[in-house]
Amino acid sequence: METDKKYILVTGGAGYIGSHTVVALIEKGFTPVIIDDFRNSNKDVIQRLQTITKQEIIYFNIACQDQPRLRGVLEQFPAFGVIHFAADKAVGESVEKPLKYFDNNFGSLISILELIQEYNIEKFVFSSSCTVYGDPEIIPVNEESPVSYNSPYGYTKKVCEEMIEQFIPSCPSVKATLLRYFNPVGAHESGLIGEEPDGKPNNLLPFITQTAAGIRKELTVFGDDYDTPDGTCIRDYIHVVDLAEAHVAALESLDDSKDNPVVYNVGTGKGTSVLEMISTFENITGKQLPYTIGPRREGDIKEIFANTDKVNQKLNWKSKKTIEDAIATAWSFEQYIREKRSKK
Ligand code: UD1
């Protein structure tokens, strides 16, 4: 058993947000222990994390519901915190396969909470989403805004939050933080880790970069008849490196308020439209992006962005990076991935 290090169990640590958080943890002196079954992530992310951090990365190919093996990991690396990213996250797929989402997203959380109780783990950070605000009437949304859901995926996030709320009174020694992410974008400045969708991307920025790289013929803008200044939907795009740092801030927080779990919006507080994303991409890369205007996508909401006062004040965290930086790094990452695949 090794005890001189500040171990943090990171479930889904090889995924998009998880991998950036692993880097942020190491920069702040923590020792992440990755648990990932690589169902939706790439095994060589581990090697790339080693290149970025110049450190041996501790990782285990284990599913969150495999408690016997997770116990083995926790015996060897007594973690004082858990950051739980591992979950299925595609809105469209969740409509087709809701039971897959219930099984994985609920089952993994239950398994992890049981282990938190068993091992007296002090800190728990849960990956939630602005999807819990459904289609909000009042914008920006704050943490008190009404919650609902638009898809089985959104339902799992809402119910997981409620499960944590119901669990904490039975285990008050753990301090839980629910981070509601807005739209994560961008990549690490090294260009080695980023959003790496399997097949056709669902999210806007990977679709843009794949289109510009010639992998997709054109981007379809899902509707330009919304009641917004340019007619396209508005989202709060948060740089993944900033988002990763919010997890470290949550672990380091000395906030002793009675709120347990404590909930934070993690966004920039600024809304950007789809057409603004496209024009910023074109300005930064000097590439013309082929796109057409198509019908609205089912389930899309018109507009959402965050009120970030609470996270700014209580966690002393603020987004620092710009959309331009997110687009530039996502574009470098796209080129890295293309080059890598072309060598295979
Ligand atoms: C949604 C969820 C978010 C979740 C994410 C996971 C909500 C409010 N948000 O984000 O919580 O983490 O899915 O995937 O439920 N767009 C196009 N063309 C495209 C792709 C996207 O025009 O080819 C537009 C969309 O209409 C939307 C914007 O780009 O306006 C962003 O879309 P996307 O990246 O898919 O994210 P959300 O749907 O906002």
**Would you say residue 282 has pLDDT above 80?**
yes
Q: What count of Cα atoms within 13 Å lies in the side-chain half-sphere of residue 148? A: 8
Rg (CA), the chain: 19
What mean pLDDT is predicted for residues 172-192?
97
Q: pLDDT category, 108, cuts 50, 70, 90?
A: very high
Distance 235 CA to ligand 1 centre (A): 8
153 labelled catalytic: yes
**Would you say residue 4 has pLDDT above 70?**
no
d(CA 315, CA 249): 6
pLDDT of residue 3: 56
pLDDT of residue 82: 98
**Would you say residue 334 has pLDDT above 60?**
yes
Taking CA atoms only, the protein residue closest to ligand 1 atom 29 is 204
Q: Could you read off the pLDDT of 15-67 as tens digits, one per residue? A: 999 999 999 999 999 999 999 999 999 999 999 999 999 999 999 999 999 99
Distance 258 CA to ligand 1 centre (A): 34
What is the atom index within ligand 1 of the atom nearest the CA of 233? 30
pLDDT of residue 92: 87
Query: Which pTM does this prediction carry?
Result: 0.97
pLDDT of residue 342: 83
Q: pLDDT category, 219, cuts 50, 70, 90?
A: very high
Q: Which of 153, 226, 237, 264 is catalytic?
A: 153
pLDDT of residue 190: 97
Distance 4 CA to ligand 1 centre (A): 42
Distance 214 CA to ligand 1 centre (A): 21
**Would you say residue 340 has pLDDT above 70?**
yes
Ligand 1 site residues (CB inside 6 A) read 89-91, 129-131, 150, 154, 183, 202-204, 207, 219-222, 233, 235, 274, 297, 300-301, 304
The fraction of the chain above a pLDDT of 90, given in percent, is 92
d(CA 29, CA 80): 13
Taking CA atoms only, the protein residue closest to ligand 1 atom 38 is 300
